[in-house]
Structure 1
Amino acid sequence: MSDTVSFGYEDVDVNQKTELVGEVFSKVAAKYDLMNDVMSGGMHRVWKDRFVRRVKPQSDETILDMAGGTGDIAFRMSEYGASVTVSDINQEMLDVGIERAMERGIDGLVWSRQNAEQLSFSSRTFDAYTIAFGIRNVTHIDRALKEAHRVLKFGGRFYCLEFSTTEWPGFKEVYDAYSHKLMPQMGKLIAQDEESYRYLAESIRRFPPMPQFEQMIRDAGFAKTKVEAIFGGAVAIHSGWKI
């Protein structure tokens, strides 16, 4: 029997997940940023601002922003003068990001279609590696983390912004009801795509809790790992260093 991995609440053949996730993001690319605003009440902007402040981009640094297709994180980091490569496995997401960059007059970003599990970049290339709301969609998270470690220079830092499990008493039930019932309905109403947003909600629930994911980061070779819970743990910033 072939190995299986989670795709939302389903378990699918390990060879299918990348394609299935790709289909989801091809469908949602055009309305992705609008739906982020609607679903988070605009809070995702605050979380991303906080995330970039933790990364502390510098003008003389090269940074890889993985799963960064629409450019939200890269645009913020480019304001600090960092040289940012935006990578995503999904070309439709990258196309949206390139169009947004042109509309905003943002030059100097490098756009590169990449699989997080098998990057084409040379080892010890980047000063920092960032990934926001993307790691949970990777088929083999451990492989993606090892690749992140490989492409970082010694002294380089890893930062991941991802949904997690809220620790606020009573809020978990409210959040679960919202994500499982309202998110798919909003996807249907605004993006005409209920199933993709059902998957996105389910993928959050299947993602490892904060202590387990932090251990995965350590297992990939990172040191001085840290977890910063946001919004009661519904969102978390994970970080580590290559030393």
Structure 2
Amino acid sequence: MKIRTLLFFLFFAVASVMPGLAEFTEWQDTNYDFSKVKTVYLSGMDTSEAGVAESVRDQKYKDDYRKKAGKIKVVKVVMAPREQPRALLPGETIPSEKAAPAVTKGADVVTIPQGAVDAKADIYILAKMTQCDVDSYLVPAHTEWKSRQVEENYVDKDGKLHSFYRTENYPEYVPDHDVPYVTVGVQFQWFDTKTGKLVASSEDVRRRNSESNPSSVYNRIIDRFYKNMKDTLEK
């Protein structure tokens, strides 16, 4: 019985920790002078790696990222043109050649877009959602001890009624149930537009328990990015 009880509590110790995650890693080139940056060119949010491309959520993630860029006032921020999905009109055909993507498929090669050059940007920031998952873990059936306040009354020797409350513990059966959680990861890479050199990067991965909507977690990541960006460029 003692072994079963120990295993039971060990399971819940692991299960309670497993869904919670907050990993933030950043790096900056200490030789790069961020105080001289006047213009930053931001890519749109690339969601292809996270598997949400061309979904309804995909459009919202990209819009949320774009809207918050306007809050940066310390430097001029130019956002890459919005890639708006559209249907072919009667008589239109699919172009035989497409513009070169910012990230070359299958390789860690990044191309500074012409838009960054035209905007005379000092920094090009490539944003990529690396993970966006909704999952769940099973909590097996178990009994939990609850407590409640129970009113008690008594009459003293003078016939006066008195009331007090005592704590009563009682068992409550909890059946098998799934607990959802979401995991979202976003990576940002900063490139100097003159040399193409990577001068800063960060990755933010978060997991929230009892949650099935990644949007709130994603927006917290975006908020941190813009706050850190502002702090870096104000140095």
Q: TM-score, normalised by structure 1?
A: 0.26
More strand by share: 2
More helix by share: 1
Q: Return the index of the structure with the highest Cα Rg.
A: 2
